[in-house]
Amino acid sequence: MSDIETTHHDHEVHDDEGAEEILDVTILEDGLDEEPLVESAYDRPGRWYIVHTFAGHEQKVIGALNNIIKSRELTDSIYEIYLPEEDVTEFKSGKKVTVSKRMFPSYLLIRCEPDPEVFYVIGSTPGVTGFVGAEKTKPTALTRREIDNIIRPQVEGVEQPTAKRRMPTHEFEVNDTVQIKTGPFATFSGHVAEINEDQLKVKVLVDIFGRETPVELDFTQVTKL
């Protein structure tokens, strides 16, 4: 930082090359030629881990874990609990409504320090069945790609686009192999477990984090293989 400041404030330019360097620094500091800032959840302090809960106990686990964090003063070890959700368009009583639904039922993402004592606290929280990983005492941290697929990176000054939903033609059958075309799991493939003709949706079993996880998708988001 001191080198840049010294160069930026030096008004005695002795050659053209030096002038170009000073101009480059000035442009960057003025923000005239900067790339948009991208914030990825992966770059936040700690590491991200996936935790499995009893079915329908996601909110109970969040509440219990927040109480534990507060009572044991663990805010500097357990930073964030994230429940992946997405806005889904449904038809109720003939009307089109948008509701929030869990992307991965029975799963939570937790950002914490990779410490055995922290893992023990989280793993022993009521409603938690365990971490996703080879060993209970040493869970597998999520990669940048996995995190960015779930928690979309925010680009400064750019609003995230909203997908437009269409009324597709029904062409799916249970056990069909399909590939996801759009959304956080684009390019993933899986098998059709359920078909909801009223809401024009399919439930696809996708291998995520080493577990077969149901993902609900619009007909337009998948294609048969």
How high is the pLDDT of residue 138?
Answer: 80
- 60 & 138 share domain: yes
Question: What pTM value is reported for the model?
Answer: 0.56
- 44 & 130 share domain: yes
How high is the pLDDT of residue 49?
Answer: 95
Per the structure, how many domains does the chain have?
3
- 28 & 66 share domain: no
- 70 & 7 share domain: no
How high is the pLDDT of residue 8?
Answer: 39
How high is the pLDDT of residue 217?
Answer: 87
- 121 & 168 share domain: no
Domain finish residue from 122, 142, 162: 162
Alpha helix stretches (DSSP H) within 139-215: 144-150
How high is the pLDDT of residue 187?
Answer: 85
Query: Which domain covers residue 216, as residue numbers?
Result: 163-225
- 107 & 215 share domain: no
- 137 & 202 share domain: no
* Token reading at 199: 């809401």
Asked whether 189 and 215 are in contact (CB, 8 A), the reply is no
Alpha helix stretches (DSSP H) within 83-196: 116-123, 144-150
- 75 & 106 share domain: yes
- 46 & 126 share domain: yes
- 46 & 149 share domain: yes
- How big is the chain, counted in residues? 225
Instruction: Give residue-wise pLDDT tens across range 139-156.
Output: 889 999 889 888 888 666
- 143 & 187 share domain: no
Domain finish residue from 162, 177, 209: 162
Instruction: Please report, for the domain that includes residue 130, its CATH number.
Output: 3.30.70.940
Instruction: Please report, for the domain that includes residue 179, its CATH number.
Output: 2.30.30.30
Per-residue pLDDT of the chain (225 residues; tens, 9 = 90+): 444 443 334 444 444 444 444 334 333 444 445 555 678 999 999 999 999 999 999 999 999 999 999 999 999 999 999 998 888 776 666 567 788 888 888 999 999 999 999 999 999 999 999 998 756 568 889 999 889 888 888 666 554 444 333 344 457 888 899 998 887 788 888 999 988 877 778 899 998 877 888 888 888 888 888
